[in-house]
Amino acid sequence: MDNAFAVEALNLTKYYGETLAVDHISFEVRKGEIFGFLGPNGAGKTTTIRMLSGLSRPSAGTARVLGYDIRSEIVEAKKGFGVVPESSNLYDELTALENLVFAAQLYGVPPRQRIERAEELLETFGLQEKRDARFATLSRGMKRALTIAAALIHRPQLVFLDEPTVGLDVVNARSLRSLIQKLNRQGVTLFLTTHYLEEADLLCDRVAFLVQGRIVALDTPQNLKQRLKVESACEVRFAPMPTEVMELGEWEGVYRVERSQGCLRVYGESESLLTEAILRYAGQKGLEIVSISTAGPTLEDVFVQLTGLTPEVMLVEKEGK
């Protein structure tokens, strides 16, 4: 294995019966990076993590994780990585501290170091006050944080994060993203799956788009956005914000108008034509332009062009979520 890579996958494949879940994918994860595996639910993201972490055996192909073959050396590999599943694997009846100490035991942390390491992680995650609270009584954000802490108990070089912020509110999701960045600055390699395109754009050094079990693109978010020809776009805030914007979408040079986080995102032929149309529209409607700015392409734009799918498919949660 090349020492620059934490993960090397070669033609990794998984069938469930006659259903092809992961279709002969090959990729590398560089040491020290945050690598994003993006795709709608059912694309094969979790199945890939299960194979890489030894929970599921590949139907074909193989991979090396931290230099170890996942088929024959997974026990050795597990000493160097942690796994954070989408649904917590901690115990409701144990306290926060007890869960971490038990995880330390499972990962083979020496007995004298277990409580010390657990206390250290509780402090890092801001959970000291909850050390003696049963896991079942913690908030969803605290449960997610403690689940990640448990995966870090043995100081792994690599952490697999499966949908780390799914189901969290905005505040907890932001806090967790900050924590992921902090871990990465400390030298931890992070492999995360997500169907939140904006989250991947914020966090990841490189991303792979997975659709129906196949990788359709792999590069840095910036390179992916620069490579594709995307429409010009402007973001504008009016006062007051109009309730009906269909008319703006009919102006010359304007292709479509979308609402986005308190503003309008206007797509069209060129920035100059868009700006002209927005100014004329505001004048005709008696609206004040609070702000207007050009908006570069997003990973959502890339996803739509690469896959032909609508962004909404990325927002569909798994059944029961």
Q: 11-26, pLDDT tens digit by residue? A: 999 999 999 999 999 9
Q: How far apart are CA 177 and CA 54, in angstroms?
A: 26
pLDDT higher for 44 or 295?
A: 44
| Per-residue confidence band for 318, with pLDDT thresholds at 50, 70 and 90 | very low
- Residue 179 reports pLDDT greater than 60: yes
Dihedral sign, Cα of residue 28, residue 34, residue 39, residue 45:
positive
The type of residue at 222 is Q
pLDDT higher for 57 or 173?
A: 57
Whole-number percent of the chain with pLDDT over 90: 59
Q: What is the pTM of this model?
A: 0.80
Q: What is the mean pLDDT of residues 296-317?
A: 75
Q: Could you read off the pLDDT of 221-279 as tens digits, one per residue?
A: 989 887 766 678 888 999 988 877 767 878 888 888 888 777 888 888 788 888 888 99
- The pLDDT mean for the chain works out to 90
- Residue 317 reports pLDDT greater than 60: no
> Which residue has tokens 């196949």?
214
- Residue 319 reports pLDDT greater than 50: no
Which residue in 271, 265, 262 sits closest to 301, CA to CA?
A: 265
Packing angle, helices 96-106 and 140-151, rounded to 10: 30
Q: Could you read off the pLDDT of 48-93 as tens digits, one per residue?
A: 999 999 999 999 999 999 999 999 999 999 999 999 998 899 999 9
Q: Which residues partner with 9 through β-bridges?
A: 27, 63
